[in-house]
Amino acid sequence: MKKYEKTIEIVLLISATVATLSVFLITFFIFKEGLPLLLDYGITNFVFGKDWAPTNGKYGAFPMIAGSVSVTVGALVIGVPAGIACAIFLAEIAPKSVVKFLKPAVELLAGIPSVVYGFFGLSVFVPMIRNYILPMVQKWNPNAYTSGYSILGGSMILAIMILPTIINISENSIRAVPIEYKQGSLALGASRFETIAKVILPAAKSGVVASVVLGMGRAVGETMAVILITGNMPKVPGNVLDSVATLTGTIAMEMGYATPTHQKALFAMGIVLFVFIMLLNMMATCTKRKLGGE
């Protein structure tokens, strides 16, 4: 009987380690496939090279890195203020009856598949940018041109996609602020808004920052929404109406027809993405820990 129980414990322990082993396996295989080319071609050449022409053996991934970064920054500019404000609303202002239907709405927003977001952006944002925003821009810059497939469109859809991440984590950390802080502030004569801005938000800072970093990770790693909207042009963008290719989009598009060396280059791109996401995740964990977290 004792032995039987021990065996079960070992089986359970092995199951618990599967996720961790998967991480190792993923890291190992991505690096095994991509690292040789990355080293052969030179990491600096790969990361800062501006020419992406796999058929000619040119693997400069800088345009994609610039593309991913610009779309992500755009998403943060739109999504972070809205997300944090919505979290404040849910945690501090909204009556229970409103929370009751807004909360499931946020959850549903997180549950919608990214390809549906992409399709929505493709059929709403892209024509909107081409037909309405472009003429507005042309009024003071007649040379402006866009096909609609742009950083702007990608940022808009990504901003909506990262809302649930930012709202949920920020809301939790705002709710975790001890009620005494709030009571103390109100008792000193501060208004409700002053209490939120000067007492509650600073106290919840770690969670809010972590939510932004995680939202950033989601935006950088997102594939299907971006691939349908940003136009996939591997050149360094000049303004927000330009088409760009992102790291994720390029991997997904080109993997299907790539020659073996080209495939290795895409894995090298995967390494860049992987390292970037890992750094972001670690940053999120660290801010939570360093600033005291929940």
Partner 1 sequence: MVEMGMSKIITTNKKMKINIKEKLWYFFIYLSALFTLIALLSIIGYILMNGAKHIHWEFFVKEPSSMGREGGIFSIIVGTLYLTLVSIVIATPIGVAGAIYLTEYAKENRLVRIIRFGTETLAGIPSIIFGLFGFVFFVVFLGFRWSILSGGLTLAMMILPTLLRATEESLKTVPQSYREGSLALGATKWQTIMKVVLPSSVSGILTGLILGIGRAVGETAAVMLTAGSSLGLPKSIMDPARTMSVHLYLLASEGLSKEKTFATATVLVIFVVIINCFANILANKYMKKTKVES
Residue 202 is a binding residue for partner 1 (CB under 8 A): no
Residue closer to partner 1 by CB (options 120, 181) is 120
Binding residue (CB under 8 A) for partner 1 from 3, 4, 139, 179: 4
Residue 217 is a binding residue for partner 1 (CB under 8 A): yes
Residue closer to partner 1 by CB (options 73, 258) is 258
Residue 31 is a binding residue for partner 1 (CB under 8 A): no
Least separation in angstroms between CB 4 and partner 1: 8
Residue 181 is a binding residue for partner 1 (CB under 8 A): no
Least separation in angstroms between CB 78 and partner 1: 10
Residue 167 is a binding residue for partner 1 (CB under 8 A): yes
Question: Is residue 57 helix, strand or coil?
Answer: coil
Residue 273 is a binding residue for partner 1 (CB under 8 A): yes
Residue closer to partner 1 by CB (options 208, 220) is 220
Residue 108 is a binding residue for partner 1 (CB under 8 A): yes
79, 165 in Cβ contact below 8 A?
no
Residue 1 is a binding residue for partner 1 (CB under 8 A): yes
Residue 256 has phi, psi (to 5 degrees) of -65, -35
The H-or-E segment that residue 290 falls in is helix 260-290
The H-or-E segment that residue 144 falls in is none
* Token code pair at residue 103: 């909360």
**Cα–Cα distance for residue pair 236/70, rounded to 1 Å:** 10
Residue 117 is a binding residue for partner 1 (CB under 8 A): yes
Residue 125 is a binding residue for partner 1 (CB under 8 A): no
**Cα–Cα distance for residue pair 218/4, rounded to 1 Å:** 44
Least separation in angstroms between CB 169 and partner 1: 13
* Token code pair at residue 73: 């920054």
**Cα–Cα distance for residue pair 74/67, rounded to 1 Å:** 11
* Token code pair at residue 124: 């709403």
Residue 212 is a binding residue for partner 1 (CB under 8 A): no
Residue 36 is a binding residue for partner 1 (CB under 8 A): no
Residue closer to partner 1 by CB (options 88, 209) is 88
